[in-house]
Amino acid sequence: MTTKKTTLKSVFLTGLLVLVPLAITLWVLGLIIGTMDQTLLLLPRSWQPERVLGFRLPGLGAVLTLAFIFVVGLLTQNFVGQKLVGWWELIVARIPVVGPIYTSVKQVSDTLLSSSGNAFRKALLIEYPRKGSYTIGFLTGIPGGDVVNHLKEEHVSVYVPTTPNPTSGFFLMVPKSEVIELDMTVDAALKYIVSMGVVAPPANQPAPERRTPVEPPL
């Protein structure tokens, strides 16, 4: 009887292991597609596909949004498109309140999304939140502005994400000598964080005896 219960439990857990990742993936995709579908509400009521077609087509908003992004990217790659974007940014930057917000968001998006950006290119190991306790963070650059004048030694900027939601986290300025660069891709580090340490990447080499400081991007 015990063996039978163990077998049933094993079969049930195996089914969960197969279905849970699939269910979560479909749920996340549903949220993304549903959110993108809401962009259709920005169109004038007479232009909305539901009124034109006479029925609602799930996912149409996502397709149109992706197509719009692609077209904008295609147009702004040429000289005329770049000039138009430059004029638009110049106008928006001069609008009170809106300008500083737009400029800040653009700087962050350029850093994160640009192929030449340096953000999140390195996974780091830092001693945080207390001595003897370590966590994984990502190199985002080096401190700048007046902050540098108040730091006694060279520091690097580190983003420490929370788990299981890495979109929130903490921004830290850590002494360069106390940061260890991991032999791990950013994707592998994110999986490690999101899984709360369950999905650990394989070690490529033995742990170093001494700390290896990270070289910040220039």
Using DSSP, state whether 57 is helix, strand or coil.
Answer: coil
| Phi-psi label, residue 106: left if phi above 0, alpha if psi -120 to 50, beta otherwise | alpha
The per-residue pLDDT for 112 is 65
pTM of whole model > 0.85?
A: no
- The residue among 118, 178, 119 whose CA lies nearest residue 152 is 178
Cβ proximity of 33 and 62 under 8 Å: yes
The per-residue pLDDT for 195 is 87
- The residue among 40, 55, 216 whose CA lies nearest residue 140 is 216
The per-residue pLDDT for 113 is 67
- The residue among 95, 98, 176 whose CA lies nearest residue 143 is 176
The per-residue pLDDT for 205 is 53
Listed as ranges, residues in the chain with pLDDT below 50 are: 210-211, 218
The CA distance from 196 to 185, in Å, is: 17
